[in-house]
Amino acid sequence: MAPTVVEKAIADREAIVVYFDLASDQISDNDANPMDDTEITNLIELITQSQTDLMDINRRIIGSAPSNLDDHVKAFKVLYMQSNKLLSKLRSLQSTQPINAVLTITTTKQVSEVRLPRLELPHFDGDLLQWVSFRDMFRSAVHNNSNISDAQKLTYLKGQLRGEASRLIQSMLITDANYQIPWKSSNYLLMNGMPFLFSLLLRNLI
């Protein structure tokens, strides 16, 4: 007999629990066996996709109207909160990952590479006095880096923001398209209560 919609949804939900356990174990083991940036990014993408899957599972269960619907809704809330905590920890770990900047010097006789020391990005909490320094550092190390995707750039951005600046974009999913929102959409910033002056500065990042 084929599984019911609810049974299939529960099985899918259990698979997501396994993903969360995997991410949790790797985070706990990070001190002994540090993850590199690629591993952390892969986990972030896995948990982000799992959040989307969780919402789909919850919709399917609600649509089936089982007698124990309240239990399923509680399970969804618990897992979604767990996913947010995992993402927060992963982004924190990623923000500590070094970014290697490579300066290429071209002469008429040869092309040589000079490897610079590891660059530590500053954090930004909304203090306008620190904006120019943060903007220039982030633009140079991350925004103008063609070797990383926009989704990865958004992950770096989330990791470097603190306080009010962080709160405004912390719920955004990690996607290439979403990286452009904080910079190019002043409406997004204003609707979320950010001061007008700060929104103008933020738009000038690029």
**Tens of pLDDT, residues 34-50:** 888 888 888 899 899 98
| Residues 72, 59 contacting (CB under 8 angstroms) | no
User: Distance of CA 148 to CAs 38, 78, 115, 143, 176, Å?
Assistant: 11, 33, 18, 9, 11
Q: pLDDT value at position 102?
A: 45
Domains of the chain listed by start with CATH number: 5-95 (1.20.58), 122-203 (no CATH)
Q: pLDDT value at position 120?
A: 74
Q: Tell me the one-letter amino acid at 60.
A: R
* Burial call 159-187: b when 16+ CB within 10 Å, e when fewer: bbbeeebbebbeeeebeeeebeebbeeee
pLDDT over 70, % of the chain: 71
Among candidates 39, 10, 72, 55, which has minimal Cα distance to 152? 39
- Res. 57: pLDDT tops 50: yes
- Res. 160: pLDDT tops 50: yes
Residue 114: pLDDT band (50, 70, 90) is: low
- Res. 109: pLDDT tops 60: no
